[in-house]
């Protein structure tokens, strides 16, 4: 799925580099590296990417929602947005587990830093918010300026 979205973003940029691209998100989340491929492409291309949550934007879906162009991030009235810290597990020898733990902590710091940049919240606030599952429910459309 991520490769298809990346390809579509690149195609739409090639079609008209001045025209905004609209990314509709209805996602329970997914693999962090796949989400980061989409995120990197959103930031690589010239057009603004407007994000709109329809249904749900959970986990990496919420991260991508926050990465939309400033002033062009939206959620519909019954949309659900959920953030949390990265999940993972480790098996193997002690050194293998240590390497995997260091990697997930690096990813946690990267995702927290980027979400703080996009949301205008402090790193500490995003870190605290992702330490527990935060579920946002809105009665009216939400603009994440």
- Residue 102: pLDDT band (50, 70, 90) is very high
* Burial per residue of 16-43, b for 16 or more beta-carbon CB atoms within 10 angstroms, e otherwise: eeeeebebebebebbebeebbebbebbe
User: What are the tens digits of pLDDT across the range 6-65?
Assistant: 999 999 999 999 999 999 999 999 999 999 999 999 999 999 999 999 999 999 999 999
pLDDT at position 145 is 56
Question: What are the C-alpha distances in Å from 34 to residues 10, 38, 98, 136?
Answer: 16, 7, 23, 24
Q: What is the CATH number that goes with domain 2-143?
A: 3.90.226.10
Confidence check: pLDDT of 137 > 70: no
Cα distance from N-terminal residue to C-terminal residue, the chain: 27
Determine which one of 80, 84, 114, 125 is catalytic.
84
pLDDT at position 141 is 56
84 catalytic per annotation: yes
What are the sequence ranges of the domains in the chain? 2-143
- Residue 88: pLDDT band (50, 70, 90) is confident
Q: How far apart are CA 57 and CA 135, in angstroms?
A: 10
Here the tokens at position 30 are: 């997914």
The model's pTM is 0.89
């Amino acid at each position: 799925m991520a490769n298809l979205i990346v390809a579509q973003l690149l195609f739409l940029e090639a079609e008209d580099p001045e025209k905004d691209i609209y990314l509709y998100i209805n996602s329970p989340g997914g693999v962090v590296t796949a989400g980061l491929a989409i995120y990197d492409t959103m930031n690589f291309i010239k057009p603004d990417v407007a994000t709109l949550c329809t249904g749900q934007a959970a986990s990496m879906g919420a991260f991508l929602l926050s990465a939309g162009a400033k002033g062009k991030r939206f959620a519909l009235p019954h949309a659900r947005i959920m953030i949390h810290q990265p999940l993972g597990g480790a098996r193997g020898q002690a050194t293998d587990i240590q390497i995997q733990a260091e990697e997930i902590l690096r990813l946690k710091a990267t995702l927290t830093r980027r979400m703080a940049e996009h949301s205008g919240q402090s790193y500490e606030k995003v870190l605290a918010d992702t330490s527990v599952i935060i579920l946002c429910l809105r009665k009216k459309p939400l603009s994440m300026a």
